[in-house]
Amino acid sequence: MPESNLNGRVDEEALLMMEEAKRKKRMKWTIGIIAFVIFQVVQALFFVLVIMKFKSPKFRISDFAIPSSDFNQTSPSFNMNFTAPIRVKNTNWGPFKYDASTVDFMYEGSQVGQAIIPKSKANFKSTKKINVPVTLSSTNLPSTSNLKSDLSSGFMNLTSQGELRGKVTIMFMFKKKKISQMNCTIAINTSTKEVQSLSCK
């Protein structure tokens, strides 16, 4: 075979190999860029849908004991003293700073006591525990209440209602106002002087 033809074939093969190498390199770069873009999009979606999603913290009262109480069936009345374990559960990726507030304890729609919630904050992904003293009394109940029959049955129902207003701050700069509400029903066993059941919405 003539040397010129041999050299020409070698050059052509070398050129093809160089073109193939360039094509593979371009493919790698393209795949790398696409993968980087996909990663950035996923990261942005996660940030928006998870990190930046503002949720209302849960505001609840937990189970409690009643160390001091007096239930009088003869002249229907009651007095109770206990420590209310208030819990503010913050599932956000930033602190929830709330203003001072109150929790009202009601019997048949009439207020029989109140707990004072001081201004504070619940840190991110945590539960703020607040223990406040409470005194409940039937002194201001209307004469039309069903207290006498409830005391005779050995059970009475109370409700606790409250609202926390504050702001959730994420990444030290994004803020959003949030309202956390409490609406709990408490069944009291007047014979054992204990909380029979407690449920919150």
**pLDDT tens-digit profile of 10-44?**
567 777 777 777 778 888 888 888 887 777 665 65
> Cα 19 vs. chain centroid, distance in angstroms?
59
Yes or no: say if 135 and 81 are a contact pair by the CB < 8 Å rule.
yes
Predicted pLDDT of residue 51: 57
Q: What share of the chain is helix, strand, coil (3-state, %, to 5)?
A: 30, 45, 25
Predicted pLDDT of residue 40: 67
SS3 (DSSP) at 35: helix
Domain ranges of the chain: 1-51, 58-200
Task: Count Cβ neighbours within 10 Å for each residue of 80-92 and write b for 16 or more, e otherwise.
Answer: bebebebbbebeb
pLDDT, averaged per 10 consecutive residues of the chain (201 residues), comes to 55 73 81 77 56 85 94 94 96 94 96 96 95 95 91 95 94 88 96 93 83
SS3 (DSSP) at 141: coil
Yes or no: say if 82 and 67 are a contact pair by the CB < 8 Å rule.
yes
Give residue-wise pLDDT tens across range 133-153: 999 999 989 988 899 999 999
Question: What kind and span of H or E run contains 55?
Answer: none
> What CATH topology corresponds to 58-200?
Immunoglobulin-like (2.60.40)
Alpha carbon distance 44, 50 (integer Å):
10
